[in-house]
Structure 1
């Protein structure tokens, strides 16, 4: 409990707002690395995932690529790229590391969003005379958007957590208090930095959860509510009919 209180005291100290390693500066660096990495990963993974989902080809390649990228150790890859590219290219090495980490989740969300669509909907769109381009943008993209945002959500959380290692190669971010505090045995600082990273991940997760819920097409939400409404009404009627006495004799005896 004392350590938690010390961490809060460290967080709210006026010194945390001053200098090159002020918490707002570190937060901005953390968000910048997260945003640029996820955006680059999305530019690569979303078109590829949509192509796979629309054509149905290359799914095995996407699964193998995602599995291989997930197996890469982020810290080891970052150090390797820094050594290969040189210390002057450290930001680029870090961004490449985080992009490779974000691609699998976004790629999976892009093509599974298309695969989850009922094939009868696609057949009906073709039957009405829609071109493949119109089917892609008017049918598949809107219906697959919730799962794509889910993939972006997972990617953002993974990158936010992993950007903490950027401080190890002197790139700042909210991992800096953790990396610096461990050798100094400043555990209040370490816990304070961990709290900030956890809060940032929680806030971003809530924002993406709201976006994922809002991305469900209005017609699909209406269909779900109509489907769930009669089901609830049927279950309530079934329970009431089960609770009602079925034998008239006991009912008459109770009434008398």
Structure 2
């Protein structure tokens, strides 16, 4: 069953789309704000996103930028904005299609079928090794590699046997983005929209805090990271 995330702060449109698409066999999740949509996309992994641009917290174009930082899920914009600049901006940000409100249901269904045909079959979520740990992104699980140890682990009894590392949803998101893009620079812009915070400066502080937590949990020597590399002034890079 195709999973669709609908993002719109108009409750009447949201309800109508949910009923219509559910009746046609789609699995529907809804969100009424941009940050709520980003969280829903991260946890629910929709196959298609239907996105309004005029959201109450952050603009829909920023939501597109944030999603494109870690997923190629098709995004269809549903917006009352009819100007060419809005359309070009959304498409340049990474949207796959743009439908102007009001729209006909049969046209929207045709657009859904079209983007579904263009979407390649999803690949299995990768696993990666970070220090002594194996991270399974699909299972959301971190396990210790059997027989791995060493002097740098000697003063950490919790690292000498089987362990389970608990990560917060935000830590999982950052880890997911980095591990799916090995050796690629991931900019602050691609990561910041998911970490919250009332201002870009405070968001940047939160991002440093989250990355520090990941290093303390997964790096053999957090003060000298081998895998989660900072690119000063630009972003972060995962080095396998």
The TM-score bracket by the shorter chain reads: under 0.3
Greater per-residue strand proportion: 2
Which one has more relative contact order, counting CA pairs under 8 Å at least 6 apart? 1
TM-score, structure 1 normalization? 0.27
Would you tell me which structure has more helix in proportion to its own residues?
Answer: 1
TM-score under structure 2 length normalisation: 0.28
